[in-house]
Copies of this chain bind each other. A is one copy, B any other.
Amino acid sequence: MKSFTPPNRILLGPGPSNVHLRVLEAMSKPTIGHLDPKFIELMDEIKELLKYVFRTKNEVTFAVSGPGSVGMETCLVNLVEPNSKVLVCINGVFGGRMKSIVDRCGAEPIELKVSWGRAIDPNLFEDTLKKNKGINVCSFVHAETSTGAKSDIKTLTEIAHKYNCLVIADTVTSLGGIPVLIDEWNIDVSYSGSQKCLSCPPGLSPVTFNERALEFIKSRKTQVQSWFMDLNLILSYWGGSSKRAYHHTAPINSLYALHESLLLLKEEGIENSWKRHKTNGEKLVEELEKIGLKPFVIEDERLPQLTAVTVPEGIDEAKVRKSLLDDYNIEIGAGLGELAGKVWRIGLMGYSSNEENIKACVGAIKNIFGK
């Protein structure tokens, strides 16, 4: 066995996205202790930078030491008590994952099923809340990574609050790529991932909790079922006080990387990042349509940072992906779940979202098609 040398991929899948050299360099700086005063300073800066990207003043805004799925589970296990009712919107793989977690919390998931590739319909959402008494938490995905569909979480949150529900919004694929306005939209709890539009290596999940959510958690009647994900315990380490206590050993170097990737985003300006993602996403669709490929999601509900493309009849989709990877060093994503074999997912996220990559990708597909 030898040291590993990864190929130099252009990452145009559903994440991870390509990582800026500055971020990779930050990650390789010498490890220091998780209670080192210099590291505590870094944690404080990361919290500030995350507040910037989440557009929030929430004090409890930090990075969970695990991938986005751990962020999802952290938000749910803290908010969901056994025997409670949770409205779970399912318009793709990640809504389904939320349901499974709610189930494992001993709560009752009330499902709102929506066609894959479509946004969550606010009217159906309100109907579900009307019909089912006793729901106290609603969860939905802003940008469904499995389909490329965007839901209007501002409106969903307004409705949920009318029915006295807290909301948990999955912003894994949206944060940094399209507006996520936690405070303006009154989102109670949200989790994201480092490896999408933040262009950091995978392994961290930024989260934010507002005061309403924290009060709710404090008034829980039962213990949070996970030790690692119990917010009360995590906050002894990530919390606001100057005296930080050991909870777990943070992934030091991964946090160096997150800090640098957030700095890059701040240097660009988040509005500019949204604009860049929008422009490039529209350009990609335009170019794909020129070679006869059709976006799977209707224009109004389409994410600019992740485009699901319908696989044309008679095409062996896996062969196309293999050729892109082997002959062009380009990774795009396969369909997931019920879309397996039916779509490709082309991501233009974070540092991967640029014109060169659109040209490279569309050009390569065109070549493979022999056009």
Bound-complex Cα distance A19 to B254 (A)? 14
Contacts A27-B28, A45-B1, A48-B1; A250 near B202 (Cβ below 8 A):
yes
Contacts of A257 in B (CB 8 A): 253
User: Is there an interface contact between B31 and A18, defined as CB atoms closer than 8 Å?
Assistant: yes
Contacts A101-B227, A104-B227; A33 near B11 (Cβ below 8 A):
yes
Contacts A16-B33, A69-B248, A249-B67; A226 near B27 (Cβ below 8 A):
no
Q: Which residue of B lies closest to A7 (CB)?
A: B38
User: Is there an interface contact between B249 and A193, defined as CB atoms closer than 8 Å?
Assistant: yes
The size of the chain A interface, using a CB distance under 8 A, is: 77
Interface residues of A in 231-260 (CB under 8 A from B): 246-254, 256-257, 259-260
Q: How far is the CB of A127 from chain B (nearest CB, A)?
A: 28
Contacts A6-B38, A252-B202; A228 near B66 (Cβ below 8 A):
yes
Q: Residues 14-58 of chain A: 1 if any B CB is under 8 Å from the residue's CB, otherwise 0?
A: 011011001011111111111011110010010011000000000
User: Is there an interface contact between A9 and B30, defined as CB atoms closer than 8 Å?
Assistant: yes
Answer whether residue A113 sits at the interface, using C-beta atoms and an 8 A cutoff. no
Answer whether residue A109 sits at the interface, using C-beta atoms and an 8 A cutoff. no
Q: Which residue of B lies closest to A9 (CB)?
A: B32
Most chain B C-beta atoms within 10 Å of own C-beta, residue among A16, A31, A224: A31
User: Is there an interface contact between A228 and B70, defined as CB atoms closer than 8 Å?
Assistant: yes
Contacts A104-B227, A193-B249, A226-B73; A30 near B16 (Cβ below 8 A):
no
Q: Which residue of B lies closest to A37 (CB)?
A: B325
Q: Which residue of B lies closest to A222 (CB)?
A: B104
Q: Residues 204-231 of chain A: 1 if any B CB is under 8 Å from the residue's CB, otherwise 0?
A: 0000000000000000000111111000
Answer whether residue A97 sits at the interface, using C-beta atoms and an 8 A cutoff. yes
User: Is there an interface contact between A4 and B26, defined as CB atoms closer than 8 Å?
Assistant: yes
Q: How far is the CB of A26 from chain B (nearest CB, A)?
A: 7
Contacts of A105 in B (CB 8 A): 225
Contacts of A367 in B (CB 8 A): none
Answer whether residue A61 sits at the interface, using C-beta atoms and an 8 A cutoff. no
Contacts of A250 in B (CB 8 A): 67, 202
Contacts of A203 in B (CB 8 A): 65, 203, 251-254
Answer whether residue A8 sits at the interface, using C-beta atoms and an 8 A cutoff. yes
Contacts A30-B19, A69-B248, A266-B1; A36 near B9 (Cβ below 8 A):
yes
In the assembled complex, 15 residue pairs joining A and B whose CB atoms fall closer than 8 Å, in A order, are: A4-B26, A4-B45, A6-B30, A9-B32, A15-B249, A16-B32, A16-B252, A24-B31, A32-B331, A66-B70, A70-B228, A104-B226, A104-B227, A201-B251, A226-B226
Residues of A in contact with B (beta carbons under 8 Å apart): 1-9, 11, 13, 15-16, 18-19, 22, 24-34, 36-39, 42, 45, 48-49, 65-70, 73, 97, 100-101, 103-105, 193, 195, 201-203, 223-228, 246-254, 256-257, 259-260, 263, 266, 325, 331, 336
